[in-house]
Chain A
Amino acid sequence: MKRKYIQNLGFSGLFLCMLFTLFALGSIIFFIAVRGSQVISWEFLTQVPRSGMTQGGIAPAIVGTFYITLGAIIFALPLGLACAIYLCEYSPKGFIVNIIRMSINNLAGVPSVVFGLFGLAVFVKLLGLGVSILAGSLTLGILALPLIISSAQEALMAVPQSIREASLSLGATKWETIKRIVLPAALPGILTGIILSIGRVAGETAPILFTCAAFYMRGFPRSVFSEVMALPYHIYALMTEGVHPEQQRAIAYGCSLVLLFIVLFITAIAIFIRQRQRQQYG
């Protein structure tokens, strides 16, 4: 009787914790949705800001966030994947590889503002890219690298050794085995890593602060060397600068809602792809 009682108590405790987490998440979304929806309109999504940020829309910031996120992934995905493949499949196991792994994990823990400073020093100044989409994308890309590398590594290591051996025993080379067997099998896991890094990159403020973000632009960026507005920085700017704090705050909530939706949307696409992959050969 007593053991059963303890078990029930345990289950109830776990259930409550789950409920609390769900409640916290739900209330954040609810709060932002209620506040944000007041300013959301077709105009808000498609127009440029007017009258000192109190009128018009946030279209340049939406487009900007899209550009720098895309840029970061284009830069980080091939590099990170190649790095993970090398570490997992080619590098001799041992002391040095362990050091490299540890460094990559540590890189993931570096505060994002440090990446921002690094981007300013290297991409903006040293390479002379200026405050630009390119510099911002590269900075965010470096931030995303450790996430992509470690999740891709995990996905690759989860592929059973037995199917690698099967492929090699049929006269496939190591590269053919990686390309045709290991990578497809690891794809769902790799996609998860990309999802996570997209969410992270789209929402980061500090790395773009010094490398690409502009508080206000009259139109859309014209090239990769333009400055750009981005949603996270726009929210920050609306809350800390300007002369109409009340109206600006409402717009900031609108921006938050849009940012939330963009991230959820990207995530949903990737989950959809992953789910379909699983159904096919799960």
Chain B
Amino acid sequence: MDKNIKMKAQDISFFYGKHQALKNVSIDIYANQVTALIGPSGCGKSTFIRLFNRMNELVMHTALNGAVYLDDLDINGPAVDPVSIRRRVGMVFQKPNPFPKSIFDNISYGLKVNGIKDRDFIEARVVQSLKRAALWEEVEGRLHDSALKLSGGQQQRLCIARCLAVESEVILFDEPCASLDPISTAKIEELILELKKDYTIIIVTHNMQQAARVADYTGFFLLGELIEFGKTQEIFTAPKDKRTEAYITGRFG
């Protein structure tokens, strides 16, 4: 595989029961770039992003055709443990979902389940992750308070910090700002731009301006199909497909 390609989806079709949610989608995800997936509600973009860390397996009565690669590894291969994939491909969800535990325990959780016991190491990693997620200054000195006392925006940054702590290689953002106010949204976007130095990022978003601001590449989904994929600038200034143009100019969606 091309060195610049970190993940790759090949000819993906996905079914919920008899309903086909994705139709022959192929996409290359470039390393250390932000790839945005846009499209109207129900177009399959959230279903699609969850294929990259095998989260759709948790849903009953689904079927998948096609392959997803992480570097050269077929992540759905028979010998591949989904747990090992999720350690490499982290995820931030639509609604902030901190554990009902302390701030510290939220971040250290991923380390602990990955078998790390060294306390000093864990402590250093927690602080480092909070700093990288731009949350440290707001929570310093109260790491042992419940994470549920934080505001929505802070909780979402906590979830990002939690993800950073396990040092995954790819981070999937599934509409991370859907429930946040504009200021919190701006902070998260800033963070995403900062993180792409070290991570490969895929972000699903409803918000086209957000895609335009953060993404290097953008894919437009409609009714389970990837209509157009390319450099963000090209998609937004010179879309090749009429449907893409109609969507980004706000004629539907």
B53 in contact with A166 (CB, 8 Å):
no
Q: Select the stretch in A106-114, A122-130, A167-175, A243-251 that faces chain B.
A: A167-175
B18 CB, nearest partner CB in chain A, Å: 17
Q: How many residues of B contact A (CB 8 A)?
A: 29
Q: Which residues of B contact A167 (CB under 8 A)?
A: 99, 109, 113
B243: Cβ under 8 A from any A Cβ:
no
Contact among B100, B112, B146 for A185, CB-based, below 8 A = B100
A280 in contact with B146 (CB, 8 Å):
yes
B109 in contact with A170 (CB, 8 Å):
yes
B183: Cβ under 8 A from any A Cβ:
no
Q: Which residues of A contact B166 (CB under 8 A)?
A: 170-171
A168 CB, nearest partner CB in chain B, Å: 6
Question: What is the CA–CA distance of A281 and B90 in the complex, to the nearest angstrom?
Answer: 25
Contact among A163, A169, A181, A281 for B86, CB-based, below 8 A = A169
Known: A171-B166, A281-B148. A166 touches B113 (CB 8 A): no
A180 in contact with B109 (CB, 8 Å):
yes
A176: Cβ under 8 A from any B Cβ:
yes
Band of interface residues on A: 20 to 34
B211: Cβ under 8 A from any A Cβ:
no
Q: Which residues of B contact A180 (CB under 8 A)?
A: 109, 112-113
Known: A162-B95, A170-B162. A281 touches B146 (CB 8 A): yes
Q: Which residues of B contact A166 (CB under 8 A)?
A: 93, 97-99, 159, 162
Q: What are 24 residue pairs bridging A and B, where the CB atoms are less than 8 Å apart in the complex?
A: A162-B97, A165-B93, A165-B97, A166-B98, A166-B99, A168-B86, A169-B53, A169-B55, A169-B91, A170-B90, A170-B110, A170-B166, A171-B84, A171-B86, A171-B114, A171-B166, A172-B109, A173-B83, A173-B113, A180-B109, A181-B99, A181-B109, A185-B99, A280-B146
Known: A165-B97, A169-B163. 12 other contacts (CB 8 A): A93-B60, A162-B95, A170-B113, A170-B163, A171-B166, A172-B110, A172-B113, A184-B100, A184-B101, A185-B99, A280-B146, A281-B146
